[in-house]
Structure 1
Amino acid sequence: MATNLVIGSTGLVGSHILSTLLTDSTVSAVHTISRRAPKSTGSTLHATVEADSTQWAAKLSAIQPTPSTTFSALGTTRQQAGGIANQWKIDHDLNIELARAAKTAGVRNFVFVSSAGTRGLLGGRLPYGQMKQGVEDTVKELGFETAIVLRPGMILGEREVPHQGGPLLTGSVKALGRWFGIGVQDSLGQEAEVIARAAVHAAKIAEEGKAPEKYWVLEQRDIVRLGRTEWKS
């Protein structure tokens, strides 16, 4: 039975990854490391609450038995972090530190929730895209048995702290989906629950040794396929 670690378990996508794993009978243990306790609960949950994120790598290394798969949906916004420099410390530096700690600890599979457009001409020139690129490249270079990167579009769902303009954009994308079909919505953004299910589904495929590539990138269409079309609860 699989054991998992979820980083970013109190965020929008991470909380859905956690709740999905907690209802999975094939998962024996789900560990989390976060500044505050996750909202989801369950008999397989082992939550570590540590306000000082500089201690997270050590906490990860101490988990026994070592999780077979680590999920990272860790991220913040410039507004919440108090500027680009502070956002970089979380979205880039902390993610890389934890990926390295996971590899050293013996984690076999690593799943990182990135973002669409980070490899585009414009995205690669912006700080946000550069943060995501740095983490993606590090995860690839570390040489996990399987490294899985998800690149969703706009993440649709209700956040505890709404992004500036987020509710309006989310409402607009969903309205387009209602008017012109779900395919239009899927081309712009994906529901947080669908992204989370795609992450879990892909990890299961990796656990079975059936991942199509050692470094497996899931673009938006792949996320919809794994997280909704082919999803079996």
Structure 2
Amino acid sequence: MTSTLLIGSTGLVGSYILSTLLADSSVAAVHTISRRAPKSTGPTLQATVEADTAHWAARLSSIRPAPSTVFSSLGTTRAQAGGIANQWKIDHDLNVELAQVAKAAGVRHFVFVSSAGTRNLLSTPMPYAKMKRGVEDAIEGLGFETAIILRPGLIMGEREVPHQGGPLMISAVKRLGSIFGQGVQDSLGQDAEVIARAAVHAAKMAEEGKAPAKHWVLEPSDIVRLGRTEWKS
């Protein structure tokens, strides 16, 4: 990957995507756009700090040359956003806008970290599932050379601001894994670093023309395979 852009670089998965890209000598430039500076640093990092997300699309458009791959792990919670309407503006509207601008700028590959279970019968009417499905469908419809969608289960890792009930759910998944084996844990939740590595691995495959499909969806088992089993640092 000669040049990449990461949106969501200060979040749990995004911070691991960033550190993974910065450690990869084959990546010539790593651009980020975020409301605060990312924690990781490196000679290939070109970080843009912009507090107003309304200007992010323009910032993306101004990157020259355009990155070949854009990653988005952008997302928030209803509580952090201050309500479902505000969450929708970030999780759905901003992601869709950035994908549209990326396509217009000439970006070839787009990688989006979505969520598992957003298309089953029980989740279909839920606002969170609607947001993720809307972004996935928009990215697929834009006609990128490769659209890569990751659908992790419970994201395992320590967040700066824990999600409500998150630590208890993570503890429960780990407990099930200790009783029934790693395979059970992997089917329910994946480590944030594994998800990040899977995203980078898949993007590199796309750059090399090895993606199995133009619209490539990675379910939890695929994430574990690419991010841990087949991962080569």
Counterpart secondary structure, 2:74: coil
| CA displacement 1:77-108 (0-9 Å, x = unmatched) | 00000000000000000000000010000000
Q: Deviations over 1:201-232 (max 9, x none)?
A: 00000000111100000001000000000000
What is the percent sequence identity of the aligned residues? 77
Name the residue aligned to 2:43.
43
User: Match for residue 24 of structure 2?
Assistant: 24
Matching residue of 1:79: 79
Amino acid at match of 1:17: I
Q: The residue matched to 2:112 in structure 1 has which SS?
A: strand
Partner of 1:215: 215
Q: Which residues of structure 2 form unaligned runs of 5+?
A: none
Structure 1 gaps of 5+ residues are none
Q: What's the CA shift string for 1:1-31, capped at 9, x where partnerless?
A: 5210000000000110000000001000000
| TM-score of the aligned structures, taking structure 2 as reference length | 0.99
Q: Structure 1 length as normaliser, TM-score?
A: 0.99
Instruction: Name 1:34's counterpart in structure 2.
Output: 34
**Cα distance in 1 for residues equivalent to 2:35 and 2:10:** 9
Q: 1:159 is matched with which residue? A: 159
What are the Cα deviations for residues 91-143 of structure 1, in whole angstroms up to 9, with x where unaligned?
Answer: 00000000001000000000000000111112221000000000000000000
Alignment of 1:88-103 (within 5 A): 88-103=88-103
Cα drift, residue 177 of structure 1? 1.4
Paired residues for 1:96-175 under 5 Å: 96-175=96-175
How many residues end up aligned between the 2 structures? 233
Q: Which residue does 1:11 correspond to in 2?
A: 11
What CA distance in whole angstroms lies between the structure 2 residues aligned with 1:11 and 1:124?
26
SS at match of 1:123: coil
Cα separation, 2, equivalents of 1:122 and 1:132 = 15
> Is the partner of 2:197 in helix, strand or coil?
helix
Give SS of 2:149's match: strand
AA paired with 1:25?
S
Across the aligned residues of Structure 1 and Structure 2, the Cα RMSD in angstroms comes to 0.7
